[in-house]
Every structure is written in structure tokens, then in C-alpha cells.
Amino acid sequence: MPDGSLQNALQLKTDPMKKSSVPTSQKVVWGLGGFAENLSNNTILSLAYLIFGVGMGINPLYIGIALSASRILDALTDPIMGNITDNTVSRWGRRRPYIFGGAIFMALLFISIWYTPRDGSEIFQAVYLIATCSLFYLAFTVWVIPFSGLGLEMVTDYDERTRLMTLRVIPSYIVGILIASLYAITLKSEWWGGDEVVGARYVGTIIGILILITGILPAIYCRERYAQKKQEKIKLLPAIIFTLKDKAFLMLVGSVFFVFVALFYMIPLLTYINLYHVCEGNKILTGKLGVITGPTQAVGQILATAAIGFFAKYFDKKHVLITGLIIGIVGYLISWFLFTPGNPYLAIIPPVVINIGLCACWVLNGSFSADICDYDELKTGRRREGMYSAVFGFLNKAAIALVMIMSGWVLAKLGFEGTDQQPSTEQLFTLRWTYIAIPTISMLAAILCMWKYPLTKKKVIEIQAELGIRKSKAGTE
């Protein structure tokens, strides 16, 4: 039971941590960074196999290696960047200088990826792709870790954290509409002669500019809550060890790790299933499916996000998350029946259902992480949003890297190579059941990880009240 002063704080809801109100405009501008984050990641994952594999004929295993190697490097640098930003003391703050510089380099390097040379050996093309992707994801780390840390420390109220993270995920839904249409746009004959490789270069340049604008705005407009916070610096290895000892955090990242395995294993396989099974090799129809899927998925995600915000007020966030993951599993299972050449437009339904379910993960993960950072401060006396964001990113990027190699290997093993592919019925059958089996098992593992998650709403409110009393006694905000 809490002591007397803590009990009073709980009853009166007088947590001194809540005194500073963050203007809505700053929250919205921070949320705009979600455009840069999702345009960067999702464009590459959505187009890589279609442009470099189908368009240029690069072996999908090489593409998988390029994507996974760059994410492994990205993951390894996350804890370093998290420790750097947590320990930074400057007149501009701990986060904003890195957000500003990272956005510039991230945009330039993103554009360079789509200029992979068409001439030269396949090995040369693969090396170029690995190099540009690796440099891009290094810049992405410099940007995204401080950006995430800024969001984790921006607000302190338990429910407001969920609302803030909603502002970050809404751009992902809008980006989803654009991403789903990109392949069709690259094929526009009246714009760039119907050559998807040429089209991707123009599209990549335009998106790079959007990444620059939306990525740099949080650095210019947002203000940090702990910009000048002085705390004892902690070395990298001890910081990682402290973070990995947090039971609640390990449960959360374990769950998201398996969600990422399910999602990013699905994406490349879905590309080939739609093109060669559902659309029977018709690229134009494949592009049309993407154009329809994008807006449909976005509408479903927006409605789901509103529902999540509502239910999170009345039910524990853990239960809302598990419900969403169950909906995602249903989406994978129904794909066996709805991926059919007889009615290709039914193929829109499974990915929409999957992504509606995963909304719970995207909306609540940041809110869970912010609660964990409060618990960490109670134990250690330090604010370490950067390191938590970094270790969170490291483990989940490791999942992406693992899955990129796995999915690339599966595609190559099944014979999906070259620009003139005609897969057999047996190949497509194997592709379809692996598309369902691995993600379903991974989503079940994600549910098990969160089954006994300990930081309930009541527990978090107690932690924040105790922190508020501690800060009041110390005479600090």
C-alpha cells in the first residue's frame, strides 16, 4: 500500500509531473515526424522486391541480404545513439540537434537508394544496394532514436501518452495509402514510359523531399521537457544491462519482436502472391489492387485507432493490445480463402484486417514505453528515454533483419528469380501456406509475451505520484 503522502497524491490526482502543459501544436508537429519515419521504412520494404527484383532482375536473396545487413548495422548502432542522446548536454537540448542533422542525411541517402545502376554485374548492384541502404539506416538511427526519446518524455499523463502516440501513427495510415499506390505510379507510361525502374527514381526523389520536411520540423518547433537535465552520465554497457534487466520492458520488446517477424515476413511474400497467384502475372492489376487497398486500409486503421483510444480509457492497455493481436491472426488465416484468382479484389480484405489488428500495437507501444521509463526513473533516478528507444529499436530491427534474410531465402528457394518468372502451382501453394503459418505462430508468441505484463494503470499512477512527491521534496519540476 502507498504511504500517507502518496495516498493523498493518488486521491487528489496532484502529480507535480503534470504541471507543465505541452501545447497541442507541438504535439501535432512531433506527430508529423511519423511521416518521415514511415515513408523511410515502408517505401523501401514495399518497392524493393518489385523494383530491384522484378524490374531489374536482381536475385531476391541478394535483395534480402541488402535489406537485412543494413538493418543489422542499424540495430547495432541504436544503443550507441541512445546513450549519446541521453548524455548530451547542449544549448539546443539532448534530442533536437540529432533530429535536425539526421533528417538531412536521411533524405539524401534515401534518394540515392533508387539510383542503383541498371548496368553492371548483379554482384555490383547488390553491393551498391547494401552500401546505400546501410548508410541510409545509419542516418535513420541518428534521427529516429532522439525523435522517439523526445516523444516518450513529452507528456506524463497515463492516458495522454496514448493520445500522443496516436498522432505518431496517424501519418502511417496516410502513408499507407501512398505506399499502396507507389508501384502503380512507377508504371505510369505517360509519365516515365511505363518503366518501373525509372519511375522509382522520380518517386524516390519526391519522397526524399517529403522525408526532409517532415523529419526536420520536430527539431525546429518542438521543445524538450528535460533539455537541460543534469544527471550522472552512464556508460554504454551498464546502460544496456540496466535496460535489459527491466522485466516489463523485456515483455514488451519480446511481444513487438514477434509482431515484427509476422509483419515483415508477410510483406515480400504478399508482393509475389498478389502478382503471380491472385493477379496471375498482371502487373497493372497488381498495381490497382494496391491503389484500392491503401485507402481501404487507412480508413479501417483510423476507425480502429479511435476505438483503441476509447477502450484504453476503460480497459487495461494490455488487454486492448492482446485483442488487436488476435484480430491480426484472423487476418492471416482468412487469406487462404480470399487470395483467389477467381475474384482478385477479395485479396484486399486480409491485409486490411491484419493491419487493423496491428493498430493496437502501433498506438500502445510508445505509451507502454513511456510508462516503463517512469518506472525506470523511480528505480534509478535517471531519465533514459533514448536508451529505451534504442534497445527497443535494436531488438525489433534485429527481427526485421532476420525476416528479410528468411523471406529472401524462401523466395529464392522457390525459384522466384529474374524478370520473366512463371511460378508453378506447387511453388505458389508453398508460398501461400508459409505466408500464413510463420506469422500466425509469431503472433501467438507475441500474445504470450504480454500475458503477465505487470504495469497496470493503477501501478503506473502510483509510480507517477511517488515521482511527483520525490520531485516536490527535492524542489524540482
User: Residue 371's domain is classified under what CATH number?
Assistant: 1.20.1250.20
Tell me, what's the pLDDT at 14? 38
330 within some domain? yes
Tell me, what's the pLDDT at 430? 87
C-alpha cell at 128: 551498391
Residue 5 has pLDDT above 50, yes or no: no
Instruction: Kindly state the percentage of the chain with pLDDT values over 70.
Output: 91
5 within some domain? no
Residue 335 has pLDDT above 60, yes or no: yes
14 within some domain? no
9 within some domain? no
How many domains is the chain partitioned into structurally?
A: 1
108 within some domain? yes
Residue 252 has pLDDT above 60, yes or no: yes
The rounded distance, in Å, linking the Cα atoms of 451 and 467 is 27
7 within some domain? no
377 within some domain? yes
Could you read off the pLDDT of 51-103 as tens digits, one per residue? 888 888 888 888 888 888 887 888 788 888 888 888 877 888 888 999 999 99
Residue 356 has pLDDT above 80, yes or no: yes
Confidence of residue 457 (pLDDT cuts 50, 70, 90): confident
CA neighbor of 173 nearest in space, from 358, 440, 26, 330 = 358
Cα angle: 407, vertex 408, 412; to 5 degrees: 115
Identify the domain containing residue 58 by its residue range: 24-222+232-474
Contact residues for 91 (Cβ-Cβ < 8 A; gap 6+): none
